[in-house]
Each structure stands twice: as C-alpha cells, then as structure tokens.
A and B are shown apart, each in its own frame.
Chain A
Amino acid sequence: MRTIRFILQKEFLQIFRNKAMVRIIFIIPIVQLLVLSYAANYEVKNMAIDVVDYDLSPWSQRLVHKLTSSGYFRLQRHTFNIKEAYEDLQRDKADVVLVVPRHFERDLVKEDKAPLQLLVNAINGTKAGLANAYAGSIIRDFNKNIRTEWLAMDERNAPPVIEVTYSNWFNTRLDYKVYMVPGILVVLITMIGSFLSGMNIVKEKEIGTIEQLNVTPIRKYHFILGKLIPFWIIALFELAFGLLVGKLVFSLPMAGSIWLIFLFAAVYLWVMLGMGLLISTFTETQQQAMFIAWFFVLIFMLMSGLFTPVESMPGWAQVLTWFNPIAWFVKVIRMVLLKGSGLANIQTYLLIMLAYALVMNGIAIWNYRKTT
C-alpha cells in the first residue's frame, strides 16, 4: 500500500502541475456540458413556411394564421408565385410550403371538400416527419372547427370524437435538456476514464521512465492502481461538479438517490479505466492511444441511446448495445435522476457493469507485462 501511496502522490503532482491537463479536466467539460446541452435539441420549432395562396379568401387566411400562431411555423413568405416557393425550398430558406389552390373556400363550401398541398423539405427525415405531423394536426383541427361553425352545430350535436388526454411522466414539461444533461455527464466522465488514463500510462513509455520503473520493485498491481486511482477520483469529482452545474443551470431534477449514481459511476469508471489501461498496453505513443480510445468511445457514444433511442436501431445494433457500457450508464443515470429508480430497479445493470469491469481489467492486466 505504501508503494501505491508514493505513486499516487507523484501522479497528482504531475497532473496538477501540467497546465494543459488542468484545463482538460476542469474547463473543457464545463464548456461541453453548457454548450452540448443546448445544441443537442430535438424539439422542432419555428420551421419556415412559405404559403402560396391562390385563393386569398378569409378561410385561407384563417388557416395561415392558425399555422403561424401555433409556434411551430414561422411565415417565411406569402406569395402567389409557386416558383418563389420552390426557390426557397431549393435554397433551404423554407422547410415547408403550403399551397392553397384557387377556389379553396368555394369548393369547401359547395362540394364539402377541398385539396391542400403540403411540400416538405425532407433532407432531415425526422424534421420533415414532425413538420408533416404538426401541419396535418393543425389542418385537421381547422377542419373540425369550420365544420362545427358552419353547420351551426353546438358542441353537443357534434359528431362523436375520441378525445385523448395525456400526462407526461418523469419529464412533465418535456424539457429536452433534462433528458440530455445526464447523458452528457456520462460522456464527460467517460472521456476522463478512457482517454486520460490510457494516455498517462503511454506517456511513461514515450518518455522512457517506464524502463526505470520496470527495474524497481514496483509490482504490476501497484503501478496499475497508482495510475488508475487518480483518474477514478478526478472523474467522480467531475461527476459531482457536473451534477451541480446541471442543477444550477438546467434545474436538473434529482428524483432518485445521488449516492446510487455515484455507486454506479464508481463501478462504471473501472470499466472505462480498464479500457484505457488495455489500450495503453498495445500502443506506444499518446497519439495512438488517443485515436484508439476515440474510435471506441465514439462508437459507444453514438450507439448508446444518448442521442437517438436504442429502440429505433436495427436489431443487430440493439444487440451490440448489450456490450456498450455507455449505453447502460446513460440508461441508469436517466432512470435514477428522472424517475427516481432505486437500487432494486438498477441492480441488474450494476451487476452487468461489475462483470464488465472485471473482464476489462482482467484482459488489461493479463496483457500488461512488466517483463518483455
């Protein structure tokens, strides 16, 4: 234990003496948390709409008004010329074009039905789908209203309609930041765990001091623990710091136990630290270590359900998330913070993580040799 104490002392001195390292550890994560949380926004609002109104009737104007006052659409251009609208679509100035044909009002009154055309810029499929759905729903609503008005029916005589009432659980105001911040916290501590630890070990190889350490009585486990514990502590500290920023800046709810998050993070970090260690055993320079760590972390991150739901991935990709530690932690941190899940709810995940930690570190230690 004494040996480990001396290694820890040395590591902390070196980490905090390195100005770049201090910045990487303290400033970059905070900036990422603040910026990414705002940027990773999936709400679609203020879509630009061009209205090509050939009818110019009170009804068509009411429809346009209804669309633009919904908050989802912003009137980009009101025109009689379809070409202008096409151009806007072409130049990405408009997301949606609504074409109201001539005699829209007349047809509606006389023939009981009138066509409308909706052109959606579908480069971003998700956004297009939402635009379609929002516009569809607003137009349906408009339709219902005019019918009631028109037939001078009061509510009681209206045709039966199934009304769905709903309530949003766990994230009542549907605030995407509440959903994203916990996930981004996971990414931050993952970076520290896998990048910095691996790079730090490789650095000893790069500058050659590992040769010297190898001829000292330092044992394999001394060296490994001495190298990993500092980053374990720093990452847990960072998690605390991130949660605090989340609470203060984003009013992050903390429905469950914070200690449970730390318990899970403590185990999770050993998986990432083990990965860093493993990478360091087969790389010779810090660049190599960084690129390999980046490769894995990027894949883990994009396939973790952080940005896109795991359920919408193809079957094989869903199977892969079983082997993705980031996916588990993203799931658990959201469960605990937002839903208030307790130990009983997450214990399976905790055990899975523990198994990963053992396997990852086992392979890494087996692969790490003091004697060549």
Chain B
Amino acid sequence: MDPIITNGLTKRFGSFIATNAITFEVKKGEIFGFLGANGAGKTTAMRMLCGLLRPSSGTAKVAGYDVYTQSEKIKQNIGYMSQKFSLYEDLKVKENIRFYGGIYGLSDKAIKEKTTQLLKKLQMEAEADQLVSALPLGWKQKLSFSIAILHDPSIVFLDEPTGGVDPLTRRQFWDLIYEAASRGVTVFVTTHYMDEAEYCDRVSIMVDGRIRALDTPRRLREQFSAASMDDVFLQLAREKAKS
C-alpha cells in the first residue's frame, strides 16, 4: 500500500475552501515535491496529512492510518520538519537529539548510538555541546532534518526546509534527502525553489486549493512545453492571474 493516499481531501474555513478535493498518492521511497504559490493551500494539506488539522471531507491514509481516527498512530510513523524553530535554541545539540529521540520512544542505548552516528554524518562532533542558537542557519536545518528522521519514520514531511539557506548548504541538504529516500523513506517536501523541484521524483503544483499538475518534472516540462520547472510554475500562476 502506498504511504500516502488521498481522495477528495477538502478543508473549508467558513466559506473559504483552502484545500479543494485533492486526490493523489505518493509511492514508497519517492521524493514528492508539493509546490504552489503562497496561499495555494499547501500548508493546510500538509497539516491534514500530519494529523494536525481535521479535514472537512474526503479521505486520506498516511502510513496506512486514517487521518480522522488514527492521528496518533500517524504521528508515531512520520517525521516532520518545518521551515523554522523545530529545535530548541536554548538546548545543546546533544540535548535536542536526546529529547526528540526520547519522546519518539527510542531506548537510551539507541539514543546514544544514533547521536554518535548523526553527529558523525553531519560532521558536527565538535559542536555536540554547543547551544543550537550558536549554530549557523544551514547547520540548524541539516540538524533538524536529521532529528526529524532519527526515529526511522516511513514518511518525512518537510515544509520549506531550505528557506533562507545558501546554495551550497541547500545542495548538502538535498544529499541528506536523497540518502534518506534511498533507504526507503518517503519524502514529502514543499519548496519555493524551482531548481529543487527538479530534484524531486514527482511534483504536484497547487493553484487555489486544487492540484493543477502532477507528474515527473521532465513530463511536466513537456506537457507545458516549458524549458524549466520555473516556466511551468509561472504558466500556471499566470493562468490563475487571468481568470
């Protein structure tokens, strides 16, 4: 069964429809790019999938669990990283890892092992005892991501993970994403960077609460006869502006 399946998933706030009957599925180990302009309904959709927001109608299953009734199960099986503030700035690097490991139910031994592995992978052994507030933004983001997948979730949701980060660090960040995907972790990522969209296996583009395009980046470029994902995105955005 696919890790994420939605059917007609809708969220209304009063008369405003933030997410309008979206239907898609994400395959295991896939890097799924979730694109859209600000206010297109991406965050609402993502919050419903993470069990943070109750949908108004439609169905969705994440990691095999129903978003209406099994949101606690979903939380156990997903990782989540938002653009900002997922770590405690007044805790040390090590303490953040221990805290998130602990609340996901890892054993003390597992926490210790994973901490060593993670610090080694990020080459941050020397910073283990530093407060997170002292780290550069790019490092924080890489650390956040690594902590979000510390408990080996089957899916990880990334909400604009590379906002405000320099291109080199972004590249390194995507290496981490690829590495996770190669281990079978499904990656659901929102971004505003169109070059990042090219890195995804498949991309969906939301306009006004609906999914207007969904395919591999290459086929989307063909379909819209565009040179880059940037063009695809702009075409859809302009279409909206005209209507």
Q: Are A3 and B102 in contact (CB under 8 A)?
A: yes
Q: Are A371 and B71 in contact (CB under 8 A)?
A: yes
Dominant SS among interface residues on chain B: loop
The residue from A13, A217, A222, A371 contacting B95, defined by CB atoms under 8 A apart: A13
* Chain B: minimal CB distance from A4 (Å): 10
The residue from A3, A14, A214, A222 contacting B91, defined by CB atoms under 8 A apart: A14
- Asked if A165 lies at the interface with its beta carbon under 8 angstroms from chain B, I say no
Q: Are A372 and B53 in contact (CB under 8 A)?
A: yes
- Asked if A211 lies at the interface with its beta carbon under 8 angstroms from chain B, I say yes
* Chain B: minimal CB distance from A324 (Å): 36
* Chain A: minimal CB distance from B216 (Å): 28
Q: Hey, what's the 0/1 contact readout for B23-46 against A, CB within 8 Å counting as 1?
A: 000000000000000000000000
Residues of B with C-beta under 8 A to A157: none
Q: Are A3 and B53 in contact (CB under 8 A)?
A: no
Residues of A with C-beta under 8 A to B89: 207
- Asked if A218 lies at the interface with its beta carbon under 8 angstroms from chain B, I say yes
Q: Are A215 and B78 in contact (CB under 8 A)?
A: yes
Residues of B with C-beta under 8 A to A372: 52-53
* Chain A: minimal CB distance from B42 (Å): 15
Within 8 A of A (CB), among B95-121: 95, 98-100, 102-105
CA distance A10 to B88 in the complex (A): 9
Q: Are A2 and B51 in contact (CB under 8 A)?
A: no
CA distance A65 to B115 in the complex (A): 83
Report the count of interface residues on B (CB-CB < 8 A): 29
The residue from A6, A10, A209, A218 contacting B86, defined by CB atoms under 8 A apart: A209
Residues of A with C-beta under 8 A to B95: 10, 13
On whether A6 and B99 interact (CB within 8 A), knowing A215-B78, A217-B105, the answer reads yes
Q: Hey, what's the 0/1 contact readout for A188-230 against B, CB within 8 Å counting as 1?
A: 0000000000000000000111011111111100100000000
Q: Hey, what's the 0/1 contact readout for A91-114 against B, CB within 8 Å counting as 1?
A: 000000000000000000000000
Within 8 A of A (CB), among B171-213: none
Residues of B with C-beta under 8 A to A167: none
Residues of B with C-beta under 8 A to A137: none
- Asked if B130 lies at the interface with its beta carbon under 8 angstroms from chain A, I say no
CA distance A207 to B86 in the complex (A): 9
Q: Are A207 and B85 in contact (CB under 8 A)?
A: yes
10 contacts between A and B (CB under 8 A): A6-B102, A13-B95, A14-B90, A14-B91, A209-B87, A211-B85, A212-B82, A215-B75, A216-B100, A216-B104
Other CB < 8 Å A-B pairs besides A7-B99, A222-B103, 19 of them?
A2-B105, A3-B103, A6-B98, A6-B99, A10-B95, A14-B91, A207-B85, A208-B85, A209-B86, A211-B86, A213-B103, A214-B52, A215-B51, A216-B104, A217-B75, A217-B103, A217-B104, A371-B52, A372-B53
A contacts, CB < 8 Å to B = 2-3, 5-7, 9-10, 13-14, 17-18, 207-209, 211-219, 222, 371-372
